[in-house]
Every structure is written in C-alpha cells, then in structure tokens.
Amino acid sequence: MGKVTIDDIAIEVPDGTNLMEAARKAGVEIPHFCYHPGLSVVAQCRMCLVDITGIPKVQPACNSFAKDGMIVNTQNEKVKEAQRAVMEFLLINHPLDCPICDQAGECKLQDNSFGYGQGGSRYTISKRQYPGFDRTAIGPHVVADMTRCIQCTRCIRFCQEISETGELSFQERGGRTLVWTHEGRPLDNEMSACAADVCPVGALTVKEFRFRARVWYLEKANSICAGCDVGCNVTVESKDKIAYRFLPRQNFSVNDHWMCDYGRFLVEDFNRRDVKAPRRRATRDGDPAGSFETISFDAAIDAAAASLLAAKESKKRIVIVAPASLPTEALWLAKKLAVEALGSAEIVTFIPKGEKPHRVKNQKTWAEGIEGVPNGAGARLLGLAESTNLLPEKGGNPEVVLVVDGDLASLSQDPNLVKNLRKARTLIVLARLDSQLTAAADLVFPLAPHTESEGTFVNGRRRLQRFDRAFLPLDGNRPAWELLSRIGRLFGEGFSFVTAAAVFEAMSAAVPSLGGITFPSIGSEGISLEPKTAGAAPDPKPAPEEKKN
C-alpha cells in the first residue's frame, strides 16, 4: 500500500493502482473519453491529463500508476489549459446537433465540453463530413454516425477484447480516419449492443431505443435479466410505466460490465399484457371457443381457494406447477401452500433448457447460460422436483392443477403439455400473456412480470441476487408471491405477507441454505451460496460503477 495525495486528499491504495481508479476512491472526477475499466488502456483521447509533482509535463491519468508519496493535481491552470485544448480540438469537427442526437443527456462530450471546455473555437472552416457513413445500420442492433465519432477506440477494443469477434476497425488515415466494420462484415456478435454502450458520444446507438425517450426522463431500477441462468445484473429504465431498455449493471462476480443482446431485448416482452383482470370460464362443456367472464380479484381468490379446499377435503389429487422463471419467494410460497396448507399436494418445477447457450464475458472468461430460466438453482435449493411432463404418472388425473407462471412459451404453447395439464378437473393459471394454456384454463389470474415486482433469483453459479421493482404493477396485475399469499391466507395465518421482503425473511429463516440472510444484506452485488472452502479466492471486489458512456 502506498500513500497518494490527489488534490490535497490523501488516500492509501495498492502500488500500481491506475490513477483514474485512485482518483475515484478519493472522490475526485477526472474527465476522460477513451478510458473504460473493462477495456485495455490506450491513453488515446488525452482528456485525463493531470499534473504529477516531479514530472515536468502533464501525464494521462489512465496510463499513470500510483506510487507511495505521489502528489497529483487535477485542477491547476496547467491541467485546465490542457483540458481546454483537447476539447477545442475534439469539437473542431464534431457537429453541434445535441438537440437531435439520441445520446444527449448521457454524452461524455456534452458533459466534458460544459465542465472543462471553453466558450468558443478558433476554427472557422467547415466541419468534416462523412457522406455515406452517417445514420447507417452496421448490424442488426447498432446504428453508426461517423460525423460524431471522436475516435476513442472503445468500440474497437470491445470487439477485439471482449466479444473477440473483431468486426470494427479504423478505416482510412489522417483527417479521414473513421471507425467502420472490417471488410464490410456486420457488427453481429452476441453482445453487439455493448459496443454502443461503451461509445461515449452518439457515434454508435442502439436501433431499438433510438428516439423513443429522452434519457433524463427515465427512472432507473436495479434488476436481474430473466433470460437465462447467468443472471446478468441490469438496470431497468422506464417512463410512464413502460420499460424502455435494459442496460448492463456492473457486477464482477456475474457479468462484469456486459450483457448479451438476447437478454437486453427481452425488455419489450415485459411491456405486453394480455390478461388484465381475473377471468373465469363461463361454460365448461361443449365450448371449444372458451367463453370467459371477468370477475373481481376477491371472487377469483375465493374460487381458487374453494377448488383447492374441496380437493383437499375429498383427498383428491392436487398438483402445483411452479416454473423456475418465478422468483425464489414465489417458489417457496408455492411449496409452502402445497405442504402446509394443502397437506398432500404435489409440487413440481419446470426448468427448460435454452434454445442455445447465451454467453457473456465475466472477468475475461465466458459465463454461459444453459437453462432458459433465471432461477433453476433457486428451485433446486428449495428441493422442488423437476418434471418435463408436469403430471407424473401416478394417482390418476388430478382434481386441481395450479400453474403459477403460465407465460413460458415452452410451457404455454406446447399442445401436448397443455393437453396433459387439461386432464385436471379444474385448471388454474397465473399468466400475463394469452396462450393455448390460458385458453384451456378454468380460472386465469393476471400476473405481473418481474419488472413490476421485487424478489430474488439464484443464478447457475448459486449466487443469490436481488431485483427491485421498476414501477407498480399495471392493469390490476399482481406478482406471483402476492397471489399465492392471498390464496394461502384463506387456509391459515402463515401466509400473511404484505411485501416480497417479508416473504424472503420467512423463507430465509426456514431454509438452512440461506443461513438467515436478510433481504437488505443481499445488496446490489448478491451473495454467493457456495460453501466457503479453505484457501478459496474471495469474490472479486467491485470497482466504482462505470455509467453507460
């Protein structure tokens, strides 16, 4: 450890610490463009120049490293003059189109120009243009506009070092240099939108989000991607109860700074809501079209409880299907309902494999998602039995089947699975989307997606992770834990939960593997549930979070 003084603030950091990170620890902002904590250091933009005592010329902080006794100044006149010169140089050719640029509000050039630039420019000649290289799709998800590029090489380094696909490179030379796809191949890797994430200006933007919302109006909530069992940490950005985008959220133990395109663009699916109120089949026999009537929540809860109670009292078969797409709290409540309230009810979980493994870089290695749901490890931790046909061949046809999450495509649109579940005298389904399964059900509850709830998932590496609610449920939808709690409350006092956090606290006390973990203690990084072994390396310590740009 060495003592470093930055702007009269003394801190202790390990020798060799990058000065950018040392300054962050001291609470000092050093402006930059090309530096990114997940990429190699190139010291290309020269925006992070600082004055180090004993060195005559200003030095790039990103390529300077802490030594004991080092004194650094980031705000004297020598540094400010260098910053103004860099900003004047960068703005010689950059278009002044902030009002129509989709990066406005999260643009480092905009921020640094305001904070460290000067009011005018000595350059009066026309700005450089790139005809044919503006507003052009260079892949399925990324749009390029080279008039805005400041040649920081972040996107190039991402494609070389992280995705390892190398689609982007410098083209031409001198004043005509631009970033473009190598030999015309599209930017089409499994994390291609991350190349736009790392762009500090509006040169690369994500096609699906372009011009949909101004970023300063978006509300942000920490969440977990539900696309597979990697469990990438994401930020849900929403406005007026519409989720507009997922952005990767830094967690070195899971997904570093990145996420795959598949998980990123699931965001639109969570805005779909077909089931907006509880509904009950009006007629059963001779009605293949499925006539339903809308009923109140109280009536629907009473109807579900009555069916379950009648089956329990007559000692007929009850099956609860709790797919591993559900949060751990809902899975535990489903098991509690089966075991404590209904006595002999069976509970099975559904853990489908993904169509193909989804991969994301984690600490220079690949984390691979095999399962098509985020909480398979959570279902196993609770001891739920896995089933592919969902009705094990025993005990004859069930009296009641309760499907707690009917939105899985592999479950809800498989005619054989639906036919198997329809063997029940009463089929109850919690779902958000209409499907073959909801069409076959007798009672349907509107289910809120996890963006409108809070809870936990356990990823494939047995890391317990918490997600927060982006906004309150819409259209009367309810999260699974609340619906199960309301049904279970009619069977006894053990289901009187009013928040997901309360469910977690009760679950943590009852499940030995959770060891009494509290909901707040999970934090934004999560907690590993793997047993600690002697000599095992600790989890990576998180660095200060790098924003989108």
Indicate the pLDDT class of residue 493, thresholds 50, 70 and 90. confident
Kindly report which listed range (236-240, 423-427, 473-477) carries the lowest average pLDDT score: 473-477
- d(C-alpha 252, C-alpha 539), whole Å: 8
Q: Report CA dihedral (303, 308, 314, 319) to the nearest 10 degrees.
A: 140
- CATH number for the 98-103+125-211 domain, one of 3.30.70.20, 3.30.1600.10, 1.10.3720.10, 2.60.40.420? 3.30.70.20
> How high is the pLDDT of residue 390?
77
Tokens in use for 529? 């549930």
* HSE-CB for 179 with a 13 A CA cutoff: 27
Phi, psi dihedrals of residue 233, rounded to the nearest 5°: -80, 130
38-41 own/partner pairs: CB under 8 Å, 24+ apart: 38/162, 38/256, 38/257, 38/258, 38/546, 39/154, 39/157, 39/158, 39/161, 39/162, 39/198, 40/157, 40/161
Segment 265-272 mean pLDDT: 93
- Give the model's pLDDT for residue 533: 46
Residue 368 contacts residue 538 (beta carbons within 8 Å): no
Task: Give the SS3 label for residue 385.
Answer: strand
pLDDT digits (tens, 9 = 90+) for 271-303: 999 999 999 998 655 454 568 999 999 999 999
| 513 confidence band (pLDDT: 50, 70, 90) | very high
532's CB contacts (< 8 A; 6+ apart) are none
- Parallel/antiparallel/unpaired status of strands 136-137 and 385-386: unpaired
Domain 2-90 and domain 279-528, same fold? Reply is no
pLDDT of residue 285: 55
What pLDDT, on the 0 to 100 scale, is given for residue 284? 59
Over residues 19-33, the pLDDT tens digits come to: 999 999 999 999 999
pLDDT confidence band for 356 (50 / 70 / 90): confident
The full set of domain ranges for the chain reads: 2-90, 98-103+125-211, 279-528
Mean pLDDT for the stretch of residues 159-175: 92
pLDDT score, position 120: 79
Q: Which residues of 464-496 are buried (b: 16+ CB within 10 A; e: fewer)?
A: bbbbbbbbebeeebbbbbbbbbbbbbebeeebe
Please, which residues bridge with residue 144 across strands?
A: 136, 204
Beta strand 279-281 pairing with 292-294: antiparallel
Quote the tokens at residue 118. Answer: 């000067």
> What is the chain's mean pLDDT, rounded?
91
DSSP annotation of 469 reads: -
pLDDT over 80 (residue 256): yes
pLDDT above 90 (res 2): no
Residue 295's pLDDT is: 94
CA distances from 470 to 63, 236, 267, 290, 345 (A): 38, 7, 12, 34, 34
Amino acid identity of residue 345, one-letter, is A
Q: How far is CA 402 from the centre of its chain?
A: 29
Look at 288 and 112; give whichever has higher pLDDT.
Answer: 112
* Helical (H) or strand (E) element with 329: helix 328-336
> pLDDT value at position 182?
86
- The architecture in CATH of the region 279-528 reads 3-Layer(aba) Sandwich (3.40)
Say if residue 198's pLDDT is above 90: yes
- pLDDT at residue 476 tops 90: no
Query: Which residue type sits at 263?
Result: G
Q: DSSP state, 478?
A: B
What is the mean pLDDT of the segment spanning 96-102? 90
Q: Which of 194, 203, 324, 190 is nearest to 246 (CA)?
A: 194
What is the structure's pLDDT at 296?
A: 94
CATH of domain 2-90: 3.10.20.740
| Mode of pairing for the β-strands spanning 346-349 and 385-386 | parallel
pLDDT recorded at residue 391: 74
pLDDT mean over 301-319: 94
Structure tokens at 486: 């309301």
531-540 pLDDT tens trace:
764 444 445 4
State whether residue 406 is helix, strand or coil.
Answer: coil
Q: Is the pLDDT of residue 218 over 90?
A: yes
124 Cβ contact list (under 8 Å, min separation 6) = none
Span 257-275, mean pLDDT?
Answer: 94
Task: Give the pLDDT mean for 314-332.
Answer: 95
Residue 404: pLDDT band with limits 50, 70, 90? very high
Strand 346-349 versus strand 527-528 pairing type: unpaired
